[in-house]
Amino acid sequence: MDCIDLGLIPADMPWGKLSPVAGDAAYQFIKTATGLAMAGKVQAICTAPLNKEALHAGGHKYPGHTEMLAALTNTPEVSMMLTAPKLRVIHVTTHIGIIDAIKKIEPGLVERVITRGYEVLEKAKLPRKKIGVCGINPHAGENGLFGYGEEEQKIVPAVKACRAKGWDVEGPLPADTLFFRAGRGDFDMVVAMYHDQGHGPVKVLGLEAGVNITVGLPVIRTSVDHGTAFDIAGKGIVDERSMLEAIRAAIDLAAR
């Protein structure tokens, strides 16, 4: 296996300790990989977990990989998609607080995310492309009973616009039952409104099987769906199955 060593990690770097040196190195590794992909020298990028606190300590103020890759490729907007054996979830918002997420959600953004999700299903050549869209509030607002009309104002116009294109899009639906239905095969993709709404169900299905895919980039990027696990770093006991799934997904997407 080819290896590009940037020589940024000191030999005496301790395992599992927050380090600005390691945070900067993580950024440089991603920057180098992105440059290779943009130049066509590699066909995909598969990333390991990133410690956001270390990244910030190293001088790079990104919420995570997704936003960093968007900046490095000059892509104005991307989406995070998590996949598990029985579930695909694309997110309208990701690494922001719940109050900020609700403010950010608007019909145009929701429509663009649904569109990116639909394009993924098309590239996968699925015979059926059925998309379920989560509501924001419990019971998807239950006709205004919960919340302040967010579903009607922020989500319904986007769903109507996508249905007008002939797409099989349903929502906004209560997230709890939507994920149950998607898990049994009623939907090919779920559109989650915020980070934990989408991440929770995927991780319940098993961290070892989840893959994170950045949708909308000019390059292919996959990753694990878990964090850095500093508490077990260097002990040789990590479960590598999510990393293997992410590598397999990158290979599969590159082949397509």
Q: How far apart are CA 92 and CA 174, in angstroms?
A: 16
Neighbours of 108 (CB within 10 A): 11
Which residues on neighbouring strands pair with residue 165, listed in sequence order? none
Amino acid at 112: R
Per-residue pLDDT tens over the stretch 4-55: 999 999 999 999 999 999 999 999 999 999 999 999 999 999 999 999 999 9
The confidence score (pLDDT) of residue 9 equals 94
- Burial group, residue 40, by CB count within 10 angstroms (0-12, 13-18, 19+): exposed
Beta-bridged to residue 215, according to DSSP, are 79
CA dihedral defined by 171, 176, 178, 183, rounded to 10 degrees? 160
Q: Is the peptide bond before 172 cis (omega within 30 degrees of 0)?
A: yes
CA–CA distance, 114 with 131 (Å, rounded to integer): 8
**Six-digit token string for 92:** 């309208």
CB-CB contact of 48 with 223 (8 Å): yes
Whether residue 129 is predicted with pLDDT greater than 70 in this model: the reply is yes
Answer yes or no: are the C-beta atoms of 148 and 206 closer than 8 Å.
Answer: no
With tokens 């918002």, the residue in question is: 93
- pLDDT tens, position by position, 152-211: 999 999 999 999 999 999 999 999 999 999 999 999 999 999 999 999 998 887 667 789
173 φ, ψ (degrees, to nearest 5):
-120, 155
pLDDT tens digits, residue range 52-79?
Answer: 999 999 999 998 898 999 999 999 999 9
Nearest to 134 by CA among 117, 122, 120, 121: 117
State residue 84's pLDDT score: 87
What is the layout of strands, in order, in the sheet containing 130-134?
Answer: 45-47, 221-224, 211-215, 79-84, 87-91, 189-192, 130-134, 168-173
DSSP secondary structure of 174-231 = -HHHHHHHHHTTS-SEEEESSHHHHHHHHHHT-GGG-EEEEES-SS-EEEESS---GG
93 in Cβ contact with 61 (< 8 Å): no
CA nearest neighbour of 80 among 59, 98, 66: 66
